Every structure is written in C-alpha cells, then in structure tokens.
A and B are shown apart, each in its own frame.
Chain A
C-alpha cells in the first residue's frame, strides 16, 4: 500500500478525527492558559506594576509578584505534565488504534 493510500484510509477513519479534535482542543486550551496568564502578567507589569509591589504581609519585604511569578513557571510546567499525561496515555492509545486499523 502506498503512503498516500494509507493516509487516505486514515482520513476516512472516524477515530483519527476524534484523536485530532480532542488532542488539538487540549493543546490549544493549554496554550491559551499559559500564554494568557503570561501576557496578563506582562500587562500588569506594564500598566499596573503597583499590584505586584504589594507586600505579601504587613511589613514584609517579599511582594505579591514573587509567588505570582513563580506560579507562572510552576503551573505551566504542571500543565506540560497534564498534556503529556493525556497525549501519552489516552490519545496515544487512540493513535495506536488508528494505525492498527489502517495498516491491518
């Protein structure tokens, strides 16, 4: 079977469309979360920096900006874990089904 014929059969497989739709939706949603929170942060830096200069507690030297900034790094890393969990688990199984059904 030529590559092109294989790809044609993949396109006719409803599981392929399910895979692409669900994995794509997750990827876009997580990208929006990461880029959205990061650019919100940058906009606060530019337009309302005083928000980030608020001390964490009365008389403290650490400001709100420190945990917020650290959270952007930590949370976006956790989201890479979330994506890998689904993409390497459930979606990878779906992908294998598609390949198996098409190449059999």
Chain B
C-alpha cells in the first residue's frame, strides 16, 4: 500500500512542481518547442505508472487479482478510479468545446452525462456487487442459460469496448500529433503498447492505480486552470459571462437553451442513451467487482459522482472562460482570423486556454494529462474486453467452467495483447474518419443491448433466456440500424443526401424496443427451462439484497 502512494507522490511532485512554477519560467519555455515540456511530463507519468505496474505484477497471482484486484480496493480508491475511468479526454475536451461553441446547450449535455450516476447507485450498485464476480455477464447469466446469455453479454461488451477503443485511439492519435508533434501512427502505437503492458502485467491493480493518478492529475489541472481563468474576471462568474456574451456571435442567446436540444424527442433520446448507457458500460461495471462488499460499492459511487459532478462544473466554467479568452485571440485561429477555424480543430479550446493563461509549460502539463487520461481509459477498456474473452467466452462457454485459473489468466493476457493490436490497427484505419458517431453508437448499444438484460435479470422474475436473447438482439440491431440511418453515418460518412432516421440518438427507440421484446418473449415462453429460470429468481434476489454467497465468491 505504501509503495504506490510513494510513487504517486513522486509522480505528482514531478508533474506539479514545473506546472506551478510556470508563470515565472515563460521566457525560457517559449524558446523551446512546446512538445519538449509535454513529452518530459508525460515521460514522468509513464515511468511512475510502469513502476506501479511492476509492483502490481508481483501481486497479481490469481484470476481474481487480475480481473478485480482481489476485491481489495477501498471505496474511496475505487471512487477515484471510477471518476478516472469516466472523465475521459472526451469529457475534458468535448464538453468544454461544446460550451465554447454552444454555451448553455453544452451545459445541458454535461448534466445529461452526469445524471446516470445517482441512478447507478440507487438501482444497481449493491446488486452488481452482490451478484457479480468478474464481468457483467456473470450477473446477466446468473440464472439463465450460461452459454447463450454469457456469449451474448460478452459479445455486447466486446462491441462496446471495440467502438470505444476506436474513439479513444483516434482521439489520442490526433491529440498527440497536435500537442507533442509526434506522428499519428507513432502516437497510436505508443498508446497501444503501454495499454498492453499495464493490463497484461499489472491487471486490475495497475489499471486502478493508473486511473487514480490520472484522476488526481486531471482534477488538479482542471481546478488550477479554472482558478487562473476566474482570476482574470475578479473571481466573478457574472463578469466572465458578460465578457463571453459580448465575445460570442450568439450574444445573450448563449446563456439559455438554444437549438441543439430544441426537439424534445432528440433530447429525451440522447439523455436515455447517456443515463442508461453509462449504467451498462462494461469497463465501468467491472469496477464494482474490485471492492470487498456492497457497502464499499456504495461509498465508491458517492465519491465518484462527487468528483465527476465537480469536474463537470469546472469543465463548463473552462468552456465559458474560453469563449472570451480564446475566442477573441487571433493566435488560436488558423491564419489569425478570429471566428474562423480553431487551430487543431474544434476540440481544442481548453488546450488553447491553458496556453493563454499558463503559457507553454501549463499547456505541456495539460497535454501530458490528456495523454495520461487516454491511457487510463483504454487500459480499463482493454481489461474489460480481455475479461469478456477469457472469463466469459473461454473459461465459461468454451471450457464450460473446467479451465484452470492458470489457463484462464494466460488466455486473458493473450486477449489483451490481441485487443491492443486490434486497437492500434483500427486506430490507424480510422485516422481520417469522423468518429463522432461512434460515441453515440457506443452509448446506444450499451443502453439498448446490455442494459435491458442486466436490469431485468436483477429486477424481473419473469425474465427467461429466450426473452433476454431476443430482446438483446432486437436492441443491438435497432441501435446499430438507427445510427447507420441517422445523419452522422448516412449523410456524413456515406454521403447520402438526407438521413432516413431523423434523430441523432437511437436510445429512445432501440431501448424501448429491447425492453418490449424481452418482456413479450419472456411472457410467451412456457418451456420447462423458463419455469426453472423463474424459480431461481427467488434465491438470486436474496443474494442480491443481502450479499450472502457473494463474499465467498470474491475470496477465490
């Protein structure tokens, strides 16, 4: 326990000191290219985390250590790690740029990304912890047909993991190309290699600590930048808003709901996808199995949602500050044309804000943090994917539970290596593609294919294998179909004139369909297996509520 803390402290010192010293050092820093600071800081982060990985590898002996850190993470640590998992580079860059471009509408998006967390606590956290062991398929298949439901749940997890990996890899490549001056392919390969090292050698212990460190760095960097920004306006949000209103082309309209969510169907569909998609992301669900009991699981959501909510509010302030500070400064626009294209693309306002307020050194620091953020998120994803392949498909479905722990761990390490290669290859293939639609698709699939099965298996006695399978497939197909026929793919990627599905987000339709099909098919299922499955619910219910039987499972 003390070793990672020392390393953590060392890593923090390395990173924090130059950042704090930034304003005094500007003269010297400006002569050097930006990337040197960023690369040095990132190198320090990598060294620190590789040290942790080495330490973690000595402690990763069993499958339980590998997948869930032996259930030995405390609620507070897990809360920080969940926050680290959820606060991806997409939230820092994406949400702040949305506020930068659309004002209040960006704030509405931010709120929608948050609201899933309390719901996860109230409805899912204790049952997840009490029923699950390594993966969310453990829960979905608890009383249903092992091979069918487990295979489907594992496939659902892998689909979500792969799409999300592509998003992160492409984002990483572009960000690093811009901020570090490295080649796109080199950046993607670095991310892939580090991810595989963390996961195969350090398993969940290393992944958890990478996420904790990154969460602390991201929170620290965000808060520092927020304070610097507020100090420009005498620490008055009203003054900041006033300046933003005079600087932005939308004027005072900026401060109220605009056109982005004017259509109620889109608004509800987006929010259903975000709220319930969050509750079914495999790498997030997996974090609930790393704590010893339901009590710590609840504590971790309380801690995580506190940090996430706070960080989201900070991000919105950063977006608002960037409107007047970045939005009126010609040095951040291509060709120096204010109001034209932002240097490095629309996702860069926060990075430019860091440069405007803290100079190259702070920009370097934030770039390193963004890189670290991507690493932490892809590691969590790779681990979730590897567990779906090794634990669900290999050990439970192919070997029917007769695989030894050594064999299962070997497969999971091979699986994470394969996922690393796949992520790098897909990342390079998708370099020139617009991947924004993949975020919607990821959350849409999670909400439509994974969430209904997960939720009903814990809450509805009547669920049967047949119902879960049909409903899950209906959710998966309709979510993919809606996204392909929507503007993001049909018009932007396939270049057809008009979208067939008029909304951006599928969840309202695909999730409803998945629930309906699941319920109807389950009701109609009169087979003997269905009866037996319904009877098993009573015992599952007691375990879900009390945790009896769960404690043993985590001590393997």
Q: Hey, which bits of chain A sit against chain B, CB under 8 A? A: 3-4, 6-7, 10-11, 16, 19-20, 23, 27-28, 30-31, 34-35, 38-39, 41-43, 45-47, 49-50, 52-53, 56, 60-63, 65-66, 69-70, 72-74, 76-77, 79-81, 83-84, 87-88, 92, 95, 98-99, 102-103
A30 to B302 Cα, complex, angstroms: 14
| Max count, chain B CB within 10 A of own CB: residue among A43, A65, A98 | A65
Which residues of B in the span 199-258 have a Cβ within 8 Å of any Cβ on A? 237-238, 241-242, 244-245, 252-253, 255-257
B548 pairs with A53, CB closer than 8 A: no
A91 to B123 Cα, complex, angstroms: 15
A95 to B107 Cα, complex, angstroms: 40
With contacts A10-B548, A77-B118, A80-B302 known, what are 17 further pairs, Cβ within 8 A? A4-B539, A7-B538, A11-B542, A19-B545, A27-B122, A28-B122, A34-B118, A34-B119, A42-B264, A46-B261, A46-B262, A49-B256, A49-B257, A65-B255, A73-B313, A80-B305, A81-B302
A45 pairs with B267, CB closer than 8 A: yes
**Residues in A whose Cβ lies below 8 Å from that of B244:** 61
B255 pairs with A62, CB closer than 8 A: yes
Which residues of B in the span 532-546 have a Cβ within 8 Å of any Cβ on A? 538-539, 542-543, 545-546
**Residues in A whose Cβ lies below 8 Å from that of B238:** 56, 60-62
Closest-CB distance, B255 to chain A (whole angstroms):
5
Interface residue from B118, B126, B312, B549 paired with A80 (Cβ < 8 Å): B118
B115 pairs with A34, CB closer than 8 A: yes
**Residues in B whose Cβ lies below 8 Å from that of A7:** 538-539, 542-543, 548-549
B257 pairs with A65, CB closer than 8 A: yes
Would you give 19 A-B contacts (Cβ < 8 Å), ordered by A?
A7-B543, A28-B122, A35-B119, A42-B268, A45-B267, A53-B253, A62-B241, A63-B256, A65-B255, A66-B104, A66-B237, A73-B114, A73-B312, A77-B118, A80-B118, A80-B301, A83-B122, A84-B302, A92-B295
| Max count, chain B CB within 10 A of own CB: residue among A23, A45, A83 | A45
**Residues in B whose Cβ lies below 8 Å from that of A30:** 118, 122
B538 pairs with A42, CB closer than 8 A: no
Nearest-CB residue, chain B, relative to A103: B548
* Known A-B contacts A16-B545, A66-B107; A31 and B123 likewise in contact (beta carbons under 8 Å): yes
A7 to B112 Cα, complex, angstroms: 39
A70 pairs with B122, CB closer than 8 A: no
Closest-CB distance, B323 to chain A (whole angstroms):
12
**Residues in B whose Cβ lies below 8 Å from that of A27:** 122-123
Nearest-CB residue, chain B, relative to A77: B309
B255 pairs with A11, CB closer than 8 A: no
Hey, what's the 0/1 contact readout for B94-118 against A, CB within 8 Å counting as 1?
Answer: 0000000000100110011011011
A41 pairs with B299, CB closer than 8 A: no
**Residues in A whose Cβ lies below 8 Å from that of B114:** 72-73, 76
A73 to B263 Cα, complex, angstroms: 23
Closest-CB distance, B307 to chain A (whole angstroms):
10
**Residues in B whose Cβ lies below 8 Å from that of A35:** 115, 119, 275
A61 pairs with B309, CB closer than 8 A: no
**Residues in B whose Cβ lies below 8 Å from that of A69:** 104, 107-108, 111
**Residues in B whose Cβ lies below 8 Å from that of A92:** 295
A16 to B543 Cα, complex, angstroms: 11
* Known A-B contacts A45-B267, A80-B118; A10 and B255 likewise in contact (beta carbons under 8 Å): no
Q: How large is the interface on B (under 10, 10 to 19, 20 to 34, 35 or more residues)?
A: 35 or more
**Residues in B whose Cβ lies below 8 Å from that of A11:** 538, 542
A61 to B246 Cα, complex, angstroms: 10
A80 pairs with B121, CB closer than 8 A: yes
**Residues in A whose Cβ lies below 8 Å from that of B263:** 46
Say yes or no: is B298 at the interface (Cβ < 8 Å to chain A).
yes
Nearest-CB residue, chain B, relative to A57: B238
Nearest-CB residue, chain B, relative to A49: B257
**Residues in B whose Cβ lies below 8 Å from that of A74:** 309
B122 pairs with A43, CB closer than 8 A: no
Interface residue from A41, A53, A83, A84 paired with B256 (Cβ < 8 Å): A53
Say yes or no: is B306 at the interface (Cβ < 8 Å to chain A).
yes
**Residues in B whose Cβ lies below 8 Å from that of A23:** 545
Task: Please provide the 3 A-B residue pairs with the shortest distance between their CB atoms, ordered closest to farther.
Answer: A53-B256, A46-B264, A49-B257
* Known A-B contacts A45-B267, A52-B257, A61-B241; A88 and B295 likewise in contact (beta carbons under 8 Å): yes
| Max count, chain B CB within 10 A of own CB: residue among A11, A49, A99 | A49
Interface residue from B271, B301, B309, B539 paired with A42 (Cβ < 8 Å): B271
**Residues in B whose Cβ lies below 8 Å from that of A87:** 126, 295, 298
A62 to B537 Cα, complex, angstroms: 52
**Residues in A whose Cβ lies below 8 Å from that of B267:** 42, 45-46
Nearest-CB residue, chain B, relative to A81: B302
Which residues of B in the span 266-305 have a Cβ within 8 Å of any Cβ on A? 267-268, 271, 275, 295, 298-299, 301-302, 305
Say yes or no: is B547 at the interface (Cβ < 8 Å to chain A).
yes
A98 to B542 Cα, complex, angstroms: 11
* Known A-B contacts A69-B108, A70-B313, A88-B299; A98 and B257 likewise in contact (beta carbons under 8 Å): no
A60 to B238 Cα, complex, angstroms: 7
**Residues in B whose Cβ lies below 8 Å from that of A28:** 122
B549 pairs with A3, CB closer than 8 A: yes
A30 to B121 Cα, complex, angstroms: 10
A77 to B241 Cα, complex, angstroms: 25
